[in-house]
Amino acid sequence: MVNTDEVEINVDDIDRDNLIKVTANAISKVQHKAINGRFKDDKKENIRIQYWKTLNGLIKTLSSLINDKEIDMLQSEIESLKLSTSDVDSESIDKMESNIDAINEIDERLRELQKNKE
C-alpha cells in the first residue's frame, strides 16, 4: 500500500492515472519542503539542494506519464478511426475523408509528442 497522505493506492492497482496523482502530490510536498524547510546551516542546506533535485526528477516523471497517456489516447483514437472507415461505400466517402484528416492531425500530434519525449 502506498500512502501519500492525500492519495492512497494499493500497489496491485497502480495505473497511469494513479501514478500521475501520486507524482503530482509528491511534487507538491517536495516543493513545499524545498521552499519552506528549516535549514540553518550549510550541511542542512545541501538537503534543500537534494529536495530540488528530487523535485526536478518528479516533474520529469509526471511529464513523461502525462505524455505517455496522451500518446496512448491518440493511438486509440487512430485505431477507432481506422475501424470506422474500413467498410466504405459510395455514401461514406465524405465521412472517410473527414476521418482521414482527423487521423492525419492525430498522427502529426503523436509524432510531435514522441519527438518531444526523446
Give the pLDDT confidence of 68-97 residue by residue, as tens digits: 888 888 889 888 877 776 666 666 677 777
Q: How is 47-110 classified by DSSP, letter by letter?
A: HHHHHHHHHHHHHHHHHHHHHHHHHHHHHHHHHHHHHHTSS--GGGHHHHHHHHHHHHHHHHHH
State the pLDDT at residue 118.
67
Residue with cell 521552499: 35
State the pLDDT at residue 70.
86
pTM beyond 0.95: no
Residue 6 pLDDT > 70: no
Residue 9: φ, ψ to 5° = -135, 140
State the pLDDT at residue 4.
46
